[in-house]
Structure 1
Amino acid sequence: MYIVLPQAVHLILDTLHRNHHSAYIIGGCVRDAVLGLPIHDYDITTSARPELVQELFQNKGITVIPTGLKHGTLTLRIDHENYEVTTFRTDKNYQNHRTPQEVTFADTLLEDVNRRDFTINTLAYNEETGLLDLVGGLEDLNKRIIRCVGDAEKRFEEDALRMLRALRFSMTLHFSIEQNTWSALKKHAHLLTYISAERIRDEWNRMLMSEYDHILDLLYDSGVLTILFPELSKLYHHNQHSLWHPYDMFQHTQIALQHTISYTLIEKLAVVFHDIGKPDTMYLDENHHGHFPHHAKVSKELAAQVMKRLKYDHTTMDTVCTLIACHDYYLQPNERFMRRFLGKLGGDYALCRSIIKVQLADDQAKEQIRAKEKIEILLQCQKILNELEQQCPALTLASLAVDGNDLKALGLAGVQIGKGLNIILQAVIEGSITNTKADCLSYIKKHVS
């Protein structure tokens, strides 16, 4: 097999080879090349010790960043791109099921490969030797299997993050997880409590963006969902007792997620958390029908707790919470209503569009005969929103044809000016007047007289 390498990677490999050191690209870049997928990052492994790597490339005028010198990793900055070069090594004595405390530089590729996570990530390549497969990674790629290198239990006990990576690779590559690896994952899922919130968040984000159909099922079956997202696990087999909901809360959420193809991460987060408040708000009426008063509010509050736990940024948290709070807000397919709604959102068309998308995903997971009309309404609202965006109507105070000085000239002062501008804005949003200076001033004169 021949892999076309970027010029910078050629330079790195050639420099190391000319100085009598083994060097290969390894890991995800080789895996993706074999699968015919786009390659985003190139990692290089070499027999050269890190001090020598640093000297060789600094002598060439290349910026060398000691990103992980203790673990033999240097980052080379070439043509505004980063390339990690890591010395062959073995890892021992892991602390907190995450970090090796004893790193020993090795002389052979096989030693380095045997410390890695999954066989499909051990393939190495350079143009001289071609593709090197030392532990059966190519066979597992062909079988579409995620398999740990060596003893799966040992791999997960060493670094618990590998369990999330196994699940994520299964989702993104649509591979199955080999039986021994799966059994070890289920047995040691509790070790994920040792992993930092940021690492968990990043893997969770990648899973959501994978477009995999059964994200929640896979996480639940592995035991991971109960440990990391007990709020979502509570939905499992929770009957909604509603004619609108033929699926239990868990299935409903998963089906809604299946209708988020091409959605943004923020929209997917809103969909996956939109109903986590239902178990806490549900009651059955005398006819044994389920009701969920204020579940959007409770779901928003619980989602905020989950995202805070995982250290999401405030902008993401605020936007997701707004989408959840609005997921059961009934929109009306007429221009006046949509103007008002946009006005409440501060004229934020993108946010309004996201609210509609979250509602669409939610409704696609309901009883379809009953939900059909609601879905049609939402599609009409989308169309109206697009038309309004083309028209650019005034929806905020800043977009009015008048300002405080104009009202001051009419004799208004202090809080009267702010109230007056808001009165004008509401009239413009309602379509009672046009957003011209003459109409706005005429309207406020009549209103305050």
Structure 2
Amino acid sequence: MFINIPNNVQFIIDTFYNNNYEAFMVGGCVRDCLLGLTPKDYDITTSALPNITESLFEKTIPTGIKHGTVTVVLDNENLEVTTYRTEGNYLDNRHPESVEFVSNIKEDLSRRDFTVNALAYNNKEGLIDYFNGIDDIKNKIIKAVGDPNKRFQEDALRMLRAIRFSCQLGFEIDELTYLAIKENYKLIKNISIERIRDELCKILISNNPCDGLNLLKDTGILEIIIPEIYSLVGYTPLCNNHNRDVFNHTLNVINNTSSNDLILRLSALFHDVGKLNTLKQLPNGHCYFPGHAQEGAIICKPILSRLKFDNTTIDKVSKIIYDHLVLDVNYMPTDGEIKRLLRRVGSENIFTLFELQKADINSLWDPVPFLKKVNYISDRVKLILKNNEPLYIKDLAVTGSDLMTHLNIKPGKIIGEILTFLLESVLDDKNLNNKESLLEIAQNFL
């Protein structure tokens, strides 16, 4: 079996062999090559000790030298090189107490998480596979190396990684590995929120995000990391538009998203979380959720903050959820109303909002009239943006200085009030955005 090795990786491997050391590309990059995928990065493992690695290459960074990892810099590319090692006891279900450098690659591969990642390759020795990783790739199986309970007790993050690899690759999780996740799921509490968030994001932007969310639910992990979403499981009020429980409705909406965009997928995940607090029952037994979009926009903020998302992401998701609901298909909004929506959501988020609305609508009994409304608003937004129609105070044909000069008023709060009033007028009628009309409106306002 031959794998094409990038030039910089080959140079590092050759350098080690020319100095009587072994070296292989290892782990996920080998797996991806076997799957016909382009690896995002290449890891290299070697029999040489870290100080030897540092001495053999002109530019290195001691990235994790305590654990045997040195970053070699070639042509502005960073490549991690790690000495063969075994690991001591794990004291916190994440980090080994110590590492021991070894000279045998089999010992190094035996400490890795899954068989599909316990692979090594170079053109000299060929493919190294001690744990049947090739067969598991062929059979599309995620299986722990050795005892899965031990692997997850060593590093509880591996449970999330198993689910993430399953989603990314479209693989099934081996039964014993899956049962070990269910057995050890509470250990996820010992993992940092940042690591959990990163794996959750990779699950959401994979091609199979709903498989991942179902696995998180079924193993118990979801209840720990996002209890608010877990609360939607089995929450099945009788509604006019859909009778599936809100969790499965959420999965359906995520499935309907056409883009692996994180903001869109996060918005879809949390879009109906506000239904938990807004349930109202009609006399006929049917339910509705007045204000659930606005409630969801409020609820999602502390959840995303708890998961350590940045403020920009939190703001975008909240704004999108706030306006995701499409009502009254018999009424088409005015351009002024559409511009106010555009201002609330932001031009950078508005088309993501439309994508979420369409995904939500396509899970309803009769999506057609709702889709017509979204498409109408989307077309109007495109035209408004194309024509650079005024949306903000800075777009007005007058400034605060103009107001003070022409109306003979002094600086103060009144200037902002006038400009705000002028903008409201212009949002409803773009033709008013000329100096003469605006000054006349301002005079009348005073």
Q: Shorter-chain-normalised TM-score: which range? A: over 0.9
1:18 aligns with 2:18: yes
- 1:423 corresponds, among 413, 417, 421, to 421
Identity within the alignment, %: 39
Residues 75-131 of structure 1 show CA distances to partners (whole Å, capped at 9, x for unaligned) of 112222210000000012001111110211111110000000000001111111122
Question: Which residue in 1 is equivalent to 2:378?
Answer: 382
- 2:347 corresponds, among 340, 346, 349, to 349
Letter in structure 2 aligned against 1:299: G
For residues 49-448 of structure 1, the aligned pairs below 5 Å read 49-57=49-57, 61-62=58-59, 64-212=60-208, 213-328=210-325, 330=327, 332-345=332-345, 348-367=346-365, 369=366, 371-410=367-406, 411-413=408-410, 414-431=412-429, 433-448=431-446
Structure 2: stretches of 5+ with no match in the other structure: none
Letter in structure 1 aligned against 2:47: S
| Contact in 2 for aligned 1:24/1:46 (Cα 8 Å) | yes
Q: What is the rounded CA distance, in whole Å, between the counterparts of 1:83 and 1:319 in structure 2?
A: 34
Residues 177-228 of structure 1 show CA distances to partners (whole Å, capped at 9, x for unaligned) of 0111111111111110000000000000000000314332222122211221
| Contact in 2 for aligned 1:363/1:374 (Cα 8 Å) | yes
The 3-state SS of whatever aligns with 2:88 is strand
After superposing the two structures, state which structure 1 stretch, 32-41 or 327-336, moved more: 327-336
Give the direction of change, closer, same or farther, for the CA distance of 1:128–1:160 in structure 2 (3 Å limit). same
| Contact in 1 for aligned 2:326/2:370 (Cα 8 Å) | no
The 3-state SS of whatever aligns with 2:79 is strand
The 3-state SS of whatever aligns with 1:433 is helix
Q: What is the rounded CA distance, in whole Å, between the counterparts of 1:176 and 1:300 in structure 2?
A: 35
Q: What is the rounded CA distance, in whole Å, between the counterparts of 2:326 and 2:239 in structure 1?
A: 18
| Contact in 1 for aligned 2:69/2:80 (Cα 8 Å) | yes
Question: Which residue in 1 is equivalent to 2:46?
Answer: 46
Q: What's the Cα RMSD here?
A: 1.7
Q: CA deviation at 1:244?
A: 0.8
Letter in structure 2 aligned against 1:315: T
The 3-state SS of whatever aligns with 1:95 is coil
Letter in structure 2 aligned against 1:4: N
| Contact in 1 for aligned 2:389/2:430 (Cα 8 Å) | no
Letter in structure 1 aligned against 2:43: D
Q: What is the rounded CA distance, in whole Å, between the counterparts of 1:436 and 1:283 in structure 2?
A: 48
After superposing the two structures, state which structure 1 stretch, 316-325 or 277-286, moved more: 277-286
Q: What is the rounded CA distance, in whole Å, between the counterparts of 2:260 and 2:295 in structure 1?
A: 24
| Contact in 1 for aligned 2:121/2:128 (Cα 8 Å) | yes
Q: What is the rounded CA distance, in whole Å, between the counterparts of 1:161 and 1:355 in structure 2?
A: 33
Structure 1: stretches of 5+ with no match in the other structure: none
Residues 374-419 of structure 1 show CA distances to partners (whole Å, capped at 9, x for unaligned) of 1210011111111111101111011112111111111133333222
Letter in structure 1 aligned against 2:342: L
Give the direction of change, closer, same or farther, for the CA distance of 1:343–1:105 in structure 2 (3 Å limit). closer
Q: CA deviation at 1:447?
A: 4.2
The 3-state SS of whatever aligns with 1:385 is helix
Q: What is the rounded CA distance, in whole Å, between the counterparts of 1:46 and 1:214 in structure 2?
A: 37
Q: CA deviation at 1:329?
A: 5.9
Q: What is the rounded CA distance, in whole Å, between the counterparts of 1:123 and 1:221 in structure 2?
A: 30
Give the direction of change, closer, same or farther, for the CA distance of 1:56–1:344 in structure 2 (3 Å limit). closer
